[in-house]
Amino acid sequence: MIVLLIFLCAILSDPPAELPADAVATLTEAGFRVTSDRATHSDEAALARQLRDVGKQKRELLDLRRAIDELERNQFQTRQAILGLRQQQLRLNLQLANIAPQDITGNNRIVAGLRALDQQMALMAEQMRLAAAQREDARTALISSEDKYLEAIAEAQKLADAIRSAYQSLSEDEARKSAVLSIWEATERRFSAAPTVGLKRQFENLRKLSEALVAEKVQGRSSGNTLVVPVKLADADAPVEMVVDSGASLVSLPAPIAQAAGVEIPPDAEEIVLSLADGRRIPARLVRLSRVRVGPFEANDVEAVVLSPEVSDAPPLLGMSFLGRYNFRINAAEKTLSLVDVVVEPSK
């Protein structure tokens, strides 16, 4: 009975269609794998692998950015703690200056307190130094990761364009169109030569990734051996020409430019000493700029220094506190600053 049923099913079921060999050869030559119901481009699996690589690079980018954000938060907190210790130091020095000479115990207590503060500040300064080195290493790794991410998207886009073009050729190239029609008729209209839903989804994901990349060349001018580009600072209406300096850790502003841009220096702003290219060492105050804009790229809450008024002739520097937020290239021959903003949002 069972054997009879199997025999009947075999008779009643449709036999596999005999595909026209010349039509199959035409589509195979065009890069397609042909089955009895579908033509699939042979590079679709490779595209899926490349998109997985893009996802891996995206996760690496997110991890590095989180690490840098954490380091910067820690540095800010340590800097604030150092400011608090300096205020304590100032109060103790005032107490020491006003203490009675015969109050030996009080004098020793204040001196011991000042020594303890010195030790705490030295320890925190070392922590700041180590954190700065870690942040620099993380930024270097981030730039490398961004380069890999951009390359991975570019490779995937190149392959996707080739696959899309191959599918389009099936309806535009006469020989391929004829081959598809021949197989379609041979399979009684059960044959499809259109991209699958899965492939269309990959195209859409890649489109979104590509649109998240903002790239622009900002035209500048040469000034000696340096590149100068227009920059909009804080609340300033007119741009300021600034020297692009990847060797400067911070955006650096002479006092007159900072004042013209409406940059306010808080009374408790940290004082630091900077070494200029000509060897001079000058005092400066740490500030945070509400915005810095170069071309279409705008960064908010950018760390910067305002130089002492005695060096009002110093050039303003566009340093790494801005540049480090982007993937950038300086082209001295073209006198351009190329910036790429890699917008990477966590996957939902």
Looking at the structure, tell me whether residues 189 and 234 fall in a common domain.
Answer: no
Cα dist. 64→59, 61, 139, 151 in Å?
9, 5, 8, 18
Q: What pLDDT shows up at residue 84?
A: 87
Q: What pLDDT shows up at residue 199?
A: 95
Looking at the structure, tell me whether residues 175 and 34 fall in a common domain.
Answer: yes
Enter the DSSP assignment of 235: T
Task: Evaluate whether residue 29 is within a structural domain.
Answer: yes
Q: Model's pTM, two decimal places?
A: 0.69
CATH of the domain at 298: 2.40.70.10
* 231 touches 294 (CB < 8 A): yes
Task: Evaluate whether residue 85 is within a structural domain.
Answer: yes
CA dihedral 141→143→146→147, nearest 10 degrees, is -110
Looking at the structure, tell me whether residues 28 and 79 fall in a common domain.
Answer: yes
Can you list the residues of the chain whose pLDDT is less than 70? 1-17, 276-278, 344-348
Rounded Cα distance between 33 and 114, Å, is: 80
Enter the DSSP assignment of 84: H
Q: How many domains does the chain have?
A: 2
Burial category of 109 from C-beta neighbours within 10 Å (exposed 0-12, middle 13-18, buried 19 and up): middle
* 232 touches 290 (CB < 8 A): no
Task: Evaluate whether residue 9 is within a structural domain.
Answer: no
Looking at the structure, tell me whether residues 198 and 253 fall in a common domain.
Answer: no
Looking at the structure, tell me whether residues 272 and 186 fall in a common domain.
Answer: no
- Among all chains, which residue has been given the structure tokens 């500040």? 121
Looking at the structure, tell me whether residues 225 and 328 fall in a common domain.
Answer: yes
Looking at the structure, tell me whether residues 194 and 248 fall in a common domain.
Answer: no
Rounded Cα distance between 24 and 337, Å, is: 51
Pairing of strands 317-318, 297-307: unpaired
Boundary (domain end) residue, out of 186, 211, 236: 211
Rounded Cα distance between 154 and 162, Å, is: 12
* 149 touches 61 (CB < 8 A): yes
* DSSP helix/strand/coil, 261: coil
pLDDT digits (tens, 9 = 90+) for 240-257: 999 999 888 899 999 999
Provide the domain limits for residue 329. 214-342
pLDDT digits (tens, 9 = 90+) for 257-290: 999 888 988 888 888 888 766 677 888 999 999 9
Looking at the structure, tell me whether residues 190 and 255 fall in a common domain.
Answer: no
